[in-house]
Structure 1
């Protein structure tokens, strides 16, 4: 999806205009990527230099509820969602070593879902904050999406 397609898809859900920032690897060169925040919706959307959607992060405290296969992924106890991902891997993809992976601090992800279940603080607790990414980002999502997609805040 392009930035305009994302805005069109959210028409009727919000009247908020996204706050967008272009990033540049080299001063004076064309933008290397952009990111847009829909603060009222609790969404951050990331695009590559061709304005292709690369990923979406969901704020656990004010973002939309995200479900995969009927399982809630937003604002949950991290161990519950991890347990579901591990069971899903064992029953649906037992021979696929790449289906279930972990980033840095034990953040679980499912490559068939294009999903990493990051965490976010809620007072003194951590709750789940989904990061969803496009198929063309699967091979290296942790490095392709900007650092702010993976922050724990």
Structure 2
């Protein structure tokens, strides 16, 4: 089924270290090393974008999309809301959640830690201090969260750094 959403207990659990990496993937690592770590072949490598990103690689079975800069180094990991691994940030599961609940949680988290709540131009909450950007992804008739974890270099202007396909598709990936 195209819109089938994995239950939390069926998802892999990935660890997250703010601004360092997620799921054992370290920001700044060459994509060749990242592919070996994942033990998978990307579904659809993409070419250069008009901005900073050189490469987008989707690992459909794993439920992750990797974004690399022009040097081929990992700069962001987007986790698919439907089938991607569950990642916890400060104990909160951030994959496949109701966007409004996670938006509220991230706003409160930012305020508690003295961080200014921020939003991307498309309305997604962003925490540059965590290297976390929350997008909404369609799952049939509902929206669920599609977290994107960012290298420190990309936290200031995620809109211009991210591969254009992420914005064109609006995070709505099957």
TM-score tier (shorter): 0.7 to 0.9
Q: Flag as ranges the 4+ runs of structure 1 deviating above 4 A.
A: none
Please point out which of 163, 166, 172 is paired with 1:146: 163
Larger-gyration structure (1/2): 1
Q: Does 1:75 align with 2:75?
A: no
The one-character-per-residue Cα deviations of 1:21-79 (angstroms, maximum 9, x if unpaired) are: 23265xxxxxx611111110111101111111121111100111121111100110111
Partners of 1:136 and 1:45 in 2: how far apart?
15
SS in 2 for 1:66: strand
Equivalent pairs, count: 140
Write the mapping of 1:1-153 to structure 2, written as runs, cut at 5 A. 1-11=29-39, 16-19=40-43, 20-23=45-48, 33-93=54-114, 96-97=115-116, 100-150=117-167, 151-153=170-172
Structure 1: where are the runs of 5+ without partners? 26-31
The one-character-per-residue Cα deviations of 1:103-151 (angstroms, maximum 9, x if unpaired) are: 1232111111111110011111111110111111122111111122242
Partners of 2:127 and 2:74 in 1: how far apart?
19
